[in-house]
Structure 1
């Protein structure tokens, strides 16, 4: 019996190692060019702290299987609008496992207002957070939309949706169908030449279109639009 148990445990360990290796192969790591200068590593992810803060801080949810660090360049661009930016580093790089982190940051940082943003699956989670927390005063979705179970159409604050014309990952039909779950006042920004992956810095994404603008240019458009709408 002991021998059988040892064999089972060994097989489970092999399976666990195999799953771990497969998961690591599927993940999108931050580009080597991404630096942590100006960012603070925290127990929830990354914090870009500005000294002259004058607007509500941003809580950002990463895309599925994307290294949270890959969004630091975007976070730094956003912080130029005098906003602190908190990037959630979700377990297994899956933002659905970190929905409650926004509440934890609100309590820990004693925040009374915040803007929630998310890329791809992170935007789905950000939409949920927006409906669950009265401190939220803005919602920005990058190549994303609220799920069928989440209706943000009654939100009475600015909502922004951005996507690139060369995005081949975003399901355009689902995005169109989801428009009815956004407020009638929601603003949509189409980024000419932008794609799905360039909202972060993690290289090409499987199934995505080829961008016709640089990653820096795409992210600057995002930062400019967000900072213009969310004062």
Structure 2
């Protein structure tokens, strides 16, 4: 698994759910970007995967949009899927023509995600995309970096949101093995 963090979010902010996914037997590689902006290095996944390694790519917020652009552009046949944490593809990251497993997780108290663009972005996802919404979770809860400007207050703990994210990812990864 290669993960693209959200804009201006430190990579270690995702370590709680990433550790649980790793403990379930999956390799998790969190990309590091100049100025913590995936926009500056969309093809970062290429440097993190082995030449014959099967993998999935995903990201949070802007990181998810850039992961979609990577997935759209890559010719690597070993990429098995893509996941989005409070994220969506734009036209440059359209994946509706790709045979990929896809997972989209949102949170009901997310005050940062542009919900209109999220709904519009669904048309760019593969038809078999799995969706989940974390009741009471918020945008910042996809990592562990505190309250984000514009976000709503979560009604569940960060630990609970991290647990749900990890569980969703593990279930999805098991389905595509």
| Partner SS state of residue 162, structure 1 | strand
Q: Give SS of 1:73's match.
A: helix
Alignment partner of 1:230: what SS?
helix
2:149 corresponds in structure 1 to 206
Contact 2:108/2:135 (<8 A) preserved: yes
How far residue 111 of structure 1 moved from its aligned partner, in angstroms, is 4.2
Larger radius of gyration: 1
**1:159 aligned onto 2:96:** no
Length-normalised TM-score, structure 1: 0.72
Once the two structures are TM-superposed, the CA of residue 137 in structure 1 deviates from its matched residue by: 0.3
Structure 1: any 5+ residue segments left out of the alignment?
1-57
User: Do structure 1's residue 182 and structure 2's residue 121 form an aligned pair?
Assistant: no
Partners of 1:146 and 1:189 in 2: how far apart?
A: 16
Q: 4+ residue runs of structure 1 moved beyond 4 angstroms?
A: none
1:121: which partner in 2? Answer: 62
Contact 1:169 1:196 (8 Å CA) reproduced:
yes
After superposition, what is the alpha-carbon deviation per residue over 1:47-75, rounded to whole angstroms, capped at 9, x for unaligned?
xxxxxxxxxxx100000011111111121
Q: Which residue of 1 aligns with 2:160?
A: 217
How many residues get paired?
Answer: 172
Deviations 1:14-69 (A, max 9, x none): xxxxxxxxxxxxxxxxxxxxxxxxxxxxxxxxxxxxxxxxxxxx100000011111
The answer to which of 160-169 and 64-73 deviates more is: 64-73
Where do 5+ consecutive residues of structure 2 fail to align?
none
Structure 1 vs Structure 2 CA RMSD: 1.2
Q: CA deviation at 1:170?
A: 0.2
